[in-house]
Structure formats: structure tokens, C-alpha cells
Amino acid sequence: MKAAIRISEKQIIGEIDRRIYGSFIEHMGRAVYEGIYQPDHETSDSDGFRQDVLELVKELNVPIIRYPGGNFLSGYNWEDGIGPRAERPKRLDLAWRSIETNEVGLHEYMKWAEKSNTEVNMAVNLGTRGIDAARNLVEYCNFEGGTYWSDLRKANGQDKPYGIKTWCLGNEMDGDWQIGHKTAEEYGRLAEETAKAMKWVDDSIELVVCGSSSSTRPTFVDWELTVLDHTYEYVDYLSLHQYYDNKNDDLSGFLAKSEDMDRFIKSVAAICDTVKAKKRSDKTLMLSFDEWNVWYHSNEETAAQKPWTVAPHILEDIYNFEDALLVGSMLITLLKNADRVKIACLAQLVNVIAPIMTERDGAAWKQTIFYPYQQTSLYGIGEALQTTVDVPTYDTEDIKNVPYLDCITIFNREACELVIFTVNKHQMDEIEVGLDTDFIIESVIEATEMAGYDIKAVNGPDSQPVYPKEMAGISIQNNYLNIRTKPLSWNMVRVKVAEKS
């Protein structure tokens, strides 16, 4: 099978915001305790943070991490996590039916974020709380000093403001599983007034307002229209959440779900632009896809967990090779929409539906999905180019005309480098890809593939057999790049191009 790709320096989708490669840590399961924090582990530093986990987070080059939730957020009192540890209360976490010790709170997490070279996407509780707690948290984190909350921060050991710039206004408030679930009207009014108060404290911050928690919610579209009618002029991003599964063991249908993700993004962007037109606004609202991943492997085990324990083993999906292929396509989809999607968070980062797993008394290790995430984060830098792909398609029960080749091209202007990410979704055939471009291609820098694995192959604590390897079959002839992609493969090709005068 053949595929023809055409790109041009003049056809730019948008500048890629590095925050599109963000992630998410929630106080649930073993994400925090036994994940990032475990004082009795042999690799832990003096602050109790696992160094093996920190090294893997740095390998992923994660630019921003959403915290502290998630469903956990809607019952969380941020004040429980400040001050002396011995005086912090233990609380029931109703979201995940566990005990929260508050051993890790705001100061500890901010210290960990600094060590992992990431920014923080802080979230405020609009489930059980509201305007007052949110504005106080902004003051505590970002105000210089001389007020009650900023001086309390100093008394708790942090003299300089944290200067957190990105903030989420609650979590999945459209969901009836959420503590403090609200109608669109109720949430829209609360988010509007909370946003105003938070920006009165610090007008440099950016705010993410809750969109629908999935495209399948019965209130999708109506929720966005109502919430944005209240908040459009006060917020900077609208959130999207979406998870996919392969419960029916239908590989073709599973790999097609990135097309559904693309339609979701474009629909939400159109809703935002409808409100923009209605309000006659000059502002274009951007998107934050702040929860996305494959999620389903661990559902039965999670449901069987004994409640009211500390750091229970929940949502610990073990990802296989087919999951890595869809995650690769989902990353390509985010990049195809880089003009509107400026923040995205792979949910989550450690142990809970995560690329990084830990053993209680052993090592941290890389899941299959670690690698597409890592490669895009490291090399998907610069401008996303409109990538025209001529390739045969297939139909599934739900989605028609699914291209067998998923592809995006990135131009790193500073490095004079083109980066091509592809997923071959065909189960039997190689796809010979020909790239036609007005760039002058000088040489191949690197070419890797994840291919030839059984679709159910997994990595584990003792062996990680699924990872990218060097790709053969790359050639350049008369400025025409040829790439042979194997069936069911994730591929990255980096090429040097001549500097533009």
C-alpha cells in the first residue's frame, strides 16, 4: 500500500504550545503515595520523593501537570495540606472511597514539581466550595506578602510566591458522579464569579473552565453554550475530557477512535466560536484537553477494592501495544489541532492509568504508552504543518473513511528540522510513504519504529520488551523522502532541512 504526503512551509496549522504535552497527578490510588512520594523507598530523597520516578518524569519532558484532581478535587479542602504534617487531618475521600492522609499537600507538591522541571496547572474546588476558597488559594500561592494568606505561606516556609499561572475552575461539574454536581446554569454562574475574583487577586493568571466530561454526555453542547454564555469573557480555555477502550476487542474500531477525538475537538472549537459571534467578542477561546487516555483494563479490579484504605491499588491499567498505537494517534490528533488545543494532560502520570508504574519495594518502569508520549514531547516542538495525506481508508461500525495512515509533520524552525509522526493502522500491509515538500531535505537525523509486536504485548517490572527501535527503509531521492512503515506501527522520522533564507 502506498501513501502520498504533501507539506509546505507556508501551510501552518499553528505554533505548538509545549503545554500540549502535559500530564495529571490526582490524589487517588497510588499516584501520590507509593507513586511520586514514598519516604521509605531506597531511591527516595530527604523530602520523601522517589528519585527513580523523578528520572522517568524528566525523560518524558513533561511541561505542566494538573493537580490535585480530578474527582478528588470536588471534596478537597486545600488548607488540609498546609502547615505541620503532624497537625494535618485525615479525611474521607468520597470520590475514590479511600483515606487521604494529607501527608502530601501544596508545599510538598510544589517542591516535587520544581524537582521534576514542570509547571503546575492548579485546580480549585467548585464542588463543595467556591469563590472564597479559590481566591484565598490564589492569594496564598501568588501574592507577594503583607496579607493573611500570603504571610501564612511565608510562615509555612515559602517566602517567595509560587507564581502559578494556569488554574482549573473545578472538575467535570456536568457529571452526576461529582461531589457538588451542578447544572450548567449553576456552574456557569459560580465559575463566572470565581473567575472574576481570582483574577482580581492576580490578573496574570489563565483560567480553564469545565466543558463536558465526554462527547457522549447527554448535555454535551448545551452545557458548553450555557457555561460559556456566563464565562466567555473571564476565562482563557475550555476543557475537554475523553477516554477510549477496546472492551469489544475490535482492533480496527479501537484504532479509529482518534477520528472521534478529532471530531470532538472541532465540535467544541465551533461551539466556542458560536459564543464568540453571539457576544461579538474579539477573543478566540482556546482549548485544554486536560484529561485523555486509554482506560478500561483495570475497571473490574478497581470495583472489587476494599474501601477506606490509604493508597489503594485502583485504575492501574497495564497497557499493551495496541494501546500505544492509539495513544500515538491521539497525540497526532492533538497536534493536528494545535491552533486551538494549547493545553493537554495525559491522565495520569504515575500508577493510575499511567505511562510510569512503580513497585512498592522495587523499581519504577515504563509502560508501552510511555514512548509515543516521550517522543512527541521531546521532538514535537515548533509549528504543526498542514499534512495532506492521500491513502486508502476503511470503515468501522461507528466511523467511516478512517485513513490507514495517521500522520502529522512538525517544523522546528530553530533546529532546521522536520519531524514526521505516523501510525500505520493496517493490520497486514506495509505502507510506503512518499513525502513531497518545498523544504530542501538534507539528511535523515533519526528514524525509529514501534512495530512487529503482538498487539497484546505488555511491559512489566521485570521486562520491558516493547519500545522503539531503529527503522530501516528510509531513503531520499530528488528531495523526495520515502518511508516504509510496517503494519500496526508507531513511527518517528526526523530529517534535517536547509535553512530558509
Residue in this structure with the C-alpha cell 472538575, named with its chain if needed: 171
Q: Is 184 helix (H, G, I), strand (E, B) or coil?
A: helix
Q: Is 83 helix (H, G, I), strand (E, B) or coil?
A: coil
Whether 446 is catalytic is no
- Residue 409's Cβ-side half-sphere holds a number of Cα atoms within 13 Å equal to 25
What sign does the CA torsion over 111, 112, 116, 117 have? negative
The beta strands (E) that lie in 210-354 are given as 237-244, 286-294, 341-347
Distance CA 343, CA 287 (A): 7
Q: Is 297 helix (H, G, I), strand (E, B) or coil?
A: coil
Indicate which residue of 26, 108, 172, 259 is catalytic.
172
Indicate which residue of 291, 316, 322, 417 is catalytic.
291
Query: How, if at all, do strands 480-485 and 489-497 pair?
Result: unpaired
Closest CA to 252 of 401, 382, 119: 401
Cα separations in angstroms, 240 against 172, 190, 334, 344: 9, 19, 12, 9
Buried b (16+ CB within 10 A) or exposed e, 295-330: bebbeeebeebeeeeebbbbbbbebbbbbbbbbbbb
The beta strands (E) that lie in 251-298 are given as 286-294
Whether 233 is catalytic is no
Which H, E and C letters describe 117-168, residue by residue?
CCEEEEEECCCCCCHHHHHHHHHHHHCCCCCHHHHHHHHCCCCCCCCCCEEE
- Residue 151 makes CB contacts below 8 A (sequence gap 6+) with 145
What sign does the CA torsion over 30, 31, 33, 37 have? positive
The beta strands (E) that lie in 285-395 are given as 286-294, 341-347, 356-358, 364-366, 383-385, 388-390, 393-394
Q: Which sequence positions are flagged as catalytic?
A: 172, 291
